[in-house]
Amino acid sequence: MFKINENYLKLPGSYLFSRIAGKVNAFQKENPEKSIIRLGIGDVTQPLAPAIISSLHAAVDEMADAKTFRGYAPDLGYEFLRNAIAKNDYAGRGCEIAADEIFVSDGAKCDSGNIQEIFSTDNKIAVCDPVYPVYVDTNVMAGRTGTYDPSAETWSDVIYMPCTDANDFAPELPGETPDIIYLCFPNNPTGSAITKAQLQEWVDYANKVGAVIIYDAAYEAYISEADVPHSIYECAGARTCAIELRSFSKNAGFTGVRLGFTVVPKDLKCGDISLHALWARRHGTKYNGAPYMIQRAGEAVYSPEGKEQLKKQVAYYMNNANVIYEGLKSAGYSVSGGVNAPYIWLKTPGSMTSWEFFDFLLERAGVVGTPGSGFGPSGEGYFRLTAFGSYENTVAAIKRIKTL
């Protein structure tokens, strides 16, 4: 009889967003007459920019011609896209990242879940708390997290770095030395950001203790403050200690198109072993590449037209963030985020738990958000709202909440 990977059986309950969907669907079924405004999941609502659509059409036309038809993509991704990424996202910011250090994929979520495969299972991981659940869950699947404590909602072998209002939702260097450090800035779920000087401290620390930083920069397009870094490679020494994840989902609306990339510098080594070589082997063995049409669409993101159109799209969502932030603040809520990220992080009123507040908003206002406890123990007592809805729905949702 075949056997199941027991690590999967350790996962508690259902995935956060699956649980939310189940509760919302059940409520909608029982109350079909009530309208629901969804500000829970960070899925975009604006259509793809015209420059991207045009590129997609042109690429599809190429696929209809035997002379320009494309099959499997190169392992790392097409050079035209990797060169555009290297030039615009890195060289343009003074970062030394070569095109062959960029691995194109179908999204940062997949890469964040897969990158841990190249590390030994006895590595100690450290995560910000609250944390994007994928970081922890994929390490559970790998057998790297120890035992689960349901009362504390923590794993015995995970180093949790609390991010609360006391430290401006930025982690402090851990007392216990980790091997792998997950950082996400601008942050999901809190919407917080850190300065270049603060990030440099983490780079220096990782190099000192021999740790690897897995840096999720999925929301860098939303940065508005000058001293907030867009890439960890803006920091000196990052090439020897950091892997960076990037996504086209939030900066270009590719949630339904799927495209991302991971940067693994050739200077990043474990002794004489190159992590770049290991990831290249994994990438080539388990992945056949994002479609040609999608990679051409990604290239259009960096065109002059694409940049201008996407700047307006980001501004649209950040205007929504301001509507949420100012609306909740005027209603007496304690709020943060919404400046460098499209997420608003608010304290639940009174003594409500985050799931109690979820039920309260759903039942009384028909508004869906995300309970903070679903992101880790330090998320209890907090709640996340996303700015990715339409402007009309965002305004309507805040109006409903303010009348409670």
Annotated binding-site ranges for substrate: 15, 42, 109, 132, 188, 288, 384
Binding site for pyridoxal 5'-phosphate, residues? Answer: 72, 108-109, 132, 188, 219, 247-249, 258, 288
Q: Are strands 148-149 and 273-274 parallel, antiparallel or unpaired?
A: unpaired
Instruction: Compute how many other C-beta atoms are within 10 angstroms of the C-beta atom of residue 273.
Output: 11
Q: Are strands 158-162 and 154-155 parallel, antiparallel or unpaired?
A: unpaired
Instruction: Yes or no: say if 232 and 213 are a contact pair by the CB < 8 Å rule.
Output: yes
Measured torsion, CA atoms of residues 30, 35, 39, 45, in degrees rounded to the nearest 10: 120
Report which of 67, 7, 37, 78 is spatially closest to residue 292, judged by C-alpha positions: 78
Q: Rounded to an integer, what distance in angstroms lies between the CA atom of residue 49 and that of residue 115?
A: 30
Q: Rounded to an integer, what distance in angstroms lies between the CA atom of residue 346 and that of residue 361?
A: 13
Instruction: Yes or no: say if 369 and 383 are a contact pair by the CB < 8 Å rule.
Output: yes
Instruction: Compute how many other C-beta atoms are within 10 angstroms of the C-beta atom of residue 274.
Output: 16
Q: Which two tokens stand for residue 310?
A: 């996407």
What DSSP designation does 174 have? P
Report which of 148, 110, 112, 123 is spatially closest to residue 13, judged by C-alpha positions: 148
Please list the alpha-helical segments (H only) found in 178-259: 196-209, 249-252
Q: State whether residue 309 is helix, strand or coil.
A: helix
- Residue 155 CB-density burial (10 A; 0-12 exposed, 13-18 middle, 19+ buried): buried
Binding site, residues? Answer: 15, 42, 72, 108-109, 132, 188, 219, 247-249, 258, 288, 384
H or E element, residue 384:
strand 382-386
Instruction: Compute how many other C-beta atoms are within 10 angstroms of the C-beta atom of residue 197.
Output: 10
Beta-bridge partners for 159: 126
Helices vs strands, H then E, count in the chain: 13, 17
Q: Rounded to an integer, what distance in angstroms lies between the CA atom of residue 15 and that of residue 126?
A: 20
